[in-house]
């Protein structure tokens, strides 16, 4: 059983309420930070912890905070990104729904470090019931003196507000989120300037994911050095993994970043193996945007090492034979699943979510969706596979924000690793309507196919 830092208390009855949360040691990190540390010391502790952004990009949090511009007389803002929308990802929802005070506590400490007197939680609009849960937690925190004016007699003021989005994946991108928070369409901004210099209402702003902010609590309570002792290499601490697809026990698991992918999938402590006695075919380990891997490359790297649940190991081999930790949205496909159909649903998702600002993404995502649907429906041509490859290449890196890359990568990886399944759909259109391609040789010992 690995250590749990975020979800260790989630099963305590009524932990959602302030009284129980406080009785279980809640808000100690606020006391410690505000009474005995200055903001710089809090930031240093987060730097020491090695905490990396848990939203998907994995950028070191302490470093992100240290980039914040501090001009005199200009407010600074902390914005919590709770727009969780990456397919496969539902960890932030779990945390906010079941232990909301952990997020509020983390936000107060982080606001103190950054100097934000007005902090926002930008939450996806569909989480309507969670907005109520968070507002209740904020009210309780305020009634008990953790928010408002002159917190703990320190002179530090802070308010937290919950701002509802309205159904747009793109608002998980930090500059689109800020546009939306200003009441505009969620069109990403050109960077630089980065939000740390010009963010919300042109003021210096830090945007952090829910899980990142929650991790600040154990870092302050136990010290950054102790946090950094958990995990492996540059993957310090614990990570929430939301696992779904064809596994026995879908759900949110907090793992130490030192276990293997195989243990995560097959151990009863986590996913419990593949559902319905089927075999593992493929997996997208970090949310729909990251490359899909066939079973053989998922469990072992191209070098033959066990693949681990760490930022480094999941990325081992680059996009030729590896993937990414991403947001921790772990999507498992069993032998009965069709990679073409699955990739089509993802292409449709990205077409729907493209904001339309950049032509390669606006047009390319639609083309990829249509071509994939044709192949899936038995109307594909062999040249379509190369056409798809060509389109995704022309989207990647040619857009203002990473949505273009996020749309290109799943298509690229599906073709890279499952080209024979695409070809089979095209050469056997009737069969492809009746049955799935099956496991093929993806679970066989390693065979790296390079495109």
What are the residues binding other proteins (CB under 8 A)? 75, 84-90, 92-93, 118, 120, 124-129, 161, 163-169, 180-186, 201, 242-246, 250-252, 284, 288, 329, 331, 333, 337, 341-342, 345-346, 348-349, 352-353, 355
Q: How far apart are CA 292 and CA 333, in angstroms?
A: 10
Strand partners, 283: 293, 332
Nearer to other proteins, 32 or 118 (CB): 118
CB 351 within 8 A of CB 369: yes
Nearer to other proteins, 226 or 345 (CB): 345
Q: How far apart are CA 298 and CA 280, in angstroms?
A: 10
The CB-of-143 to other proteins minimum distance in angstroms stands at 17
Closest CA to 235 of 293, 309, 292: 309
**Token output for 102:** 């952990």
CA neighbours closer than 13 Å in the CB half-sphere of residue 301 = 19
Nearer to other proteins, 110 or 187 (CB): 187
CB 21 within 8 A of CB 113: no
The CB-of-127 to other proteins minimum distance in angstroms stands at 8
Q: How far apart are CA 306 and CA 111, in angstroms?
A: 40
Nearer to other proteins, 45 or 421 (CB): 421
The CB-of-56 to other proteins minimum distance in angstroms stands at 14
Nearer to other proteins, 257 or 332 (CB): 332
The CB-of-284 to other proteins minimum distance in angstroms stands at 8
For residue 198, how many other CB atoms are within 10 A of its CB? 18
**Token output for 436:** 């799935």
Nearer to other proteins, 109 or 181 (CB): 181
φ, ψ at 209 (rounded to 5°): -70, 155
The CB-of-185 to other proteins minimum distance in angstroms stands at 4
The CB-of-28 to other proteins minimum distance in angstroms stands at 28
């Amino acid at each position: 059983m690995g250590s749990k830092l975020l979800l260790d208390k989630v099963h305590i009855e009524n932990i959602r309420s302030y009284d129980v949360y406080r009785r279980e040691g809640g808000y100690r990190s606020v006391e410690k930070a505000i009474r005995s540390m200055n903001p710089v010391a809090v930031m240093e502790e987060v730097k020491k912890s090695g905490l990396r952004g848990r939203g998907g990009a994995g950028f070191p949090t302490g470093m992100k905070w240290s980039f914040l511009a501090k001009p005199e007389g200009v407010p600074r803002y902390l914005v919590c990104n709770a727009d969780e929308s990456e397919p496969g990802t539902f960890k932030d929802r779990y945390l906010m729904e079941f232990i909301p005070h952990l997020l509020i506590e983390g936000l107060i400490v982080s606001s103190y470090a950054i100097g934000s007197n007005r902090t926002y939680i930008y939450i996806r609009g569909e989480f309507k019931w969670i907005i109520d849960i968070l507002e209740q937690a904020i009210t309780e925190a305020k009634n008990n003196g953790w928010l408002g004016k002159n917190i703990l007699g320190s002179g530090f003021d802070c308010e937290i507000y919950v701002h509802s989005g309205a159904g747009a994946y793109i608002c998980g991108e930090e500059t689109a989120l800020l546009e939306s928070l200003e009441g505009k369409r969620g069109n990403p901004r050109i960077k630089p300037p980065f939000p740390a210099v010009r963010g919300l209402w042109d003021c210096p702003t830090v945007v952090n994911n829910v899980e990142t902010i929650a991790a600040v609590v154990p870092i302050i309570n136990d010290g950054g050095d102790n946090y950094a002792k958990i995990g492996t290499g540059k993957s310090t601490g614990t990570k929430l993994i939301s696992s779904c697809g064809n596994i026995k026990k879908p759900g949110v698991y907090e793992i130490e970043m030192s276990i293997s992918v195989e243990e995560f999938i097959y151990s009863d402590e986590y996913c419990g193996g593949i559902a319905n006695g089927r075999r593992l075919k493929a997996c997208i380990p970090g949310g729909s945007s990251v490359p899909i891997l066939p079973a053989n490359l998922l469990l072992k790297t191209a070098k033959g090492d066990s693949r681990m649940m760490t930022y480094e190991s999941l990325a081992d081999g680059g996009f030729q034979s590896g993937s990414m930790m991403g947001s921790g949205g772990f999507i498992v496909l069993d032998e009965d699943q069709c990679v073409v159909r699955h990739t089509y649903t993802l292409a449709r998702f990205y077409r729907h979510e493209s904001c339309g600002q950049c032509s390669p993404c606006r047009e390319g995502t639609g083309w990829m969706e249509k071509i994939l649907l044709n192949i899936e429906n038995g109307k594909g041509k062999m040249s379509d596979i190369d056409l798809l490859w060509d389109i995704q290449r022309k989207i990647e890196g040619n857009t203002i924000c990473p949505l273009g890359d996020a749309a290109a990568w799943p298509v690229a990886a599906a073709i890279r690793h499952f080209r024979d399944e695409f070809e089979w759909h095209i050469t056997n259109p009737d069969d492809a309507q009746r049955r799935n391609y099956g496991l093929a040789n993806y679970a066989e010992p390693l065979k790296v196919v390079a495109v």
